[in-house]
Structure 1
Amino acid sequence: MKLGVYSFGDTQRNPDGILRSTAEAIGDLFEAIVLAGRTGLDYFGVGEHHTTDMPALSPGR
């Protein structure tokens, strides 16, 4: 059996409710992927989404 995690890499909001930048969201996603590798997980899945709140948009967007 393999163990892993999955994320859309959503863009977080600041305390004032404003969306953080896409660059910050991608950076956070990258940090999560690195941490998953360091903890020994077998995979980290990144899903695409079709909204502006998610940095991993589909190529058709």
Structure 2
Amino acid sequence: MTVSDVTILGKKILVGIIVTLVPFIIIFGGLWLTRKLLSDNATTKQPTAKQIITNKL
């Protein structure tokens, strides 16, 4: 194998890694953003619960 063959093979491997990682980053980034947006909205709208202490024996 010549130097140009190794270079082409390296470029193909790098492109394959990038093509594989980009969709995962988009999917997991979208899931993270959705979770963050929904959890912020859910926590602000929920009333706080007050604990009632009773003296039952």
TM-score with structure 1 length normalisation?
0.32
Larger RCO, structure (CA 8 Å, separation 6 or more) = 1
- Greater percentage in helix: 2
Larger Rg: 2
TM-score with structure 2 length normalisation?
0.34
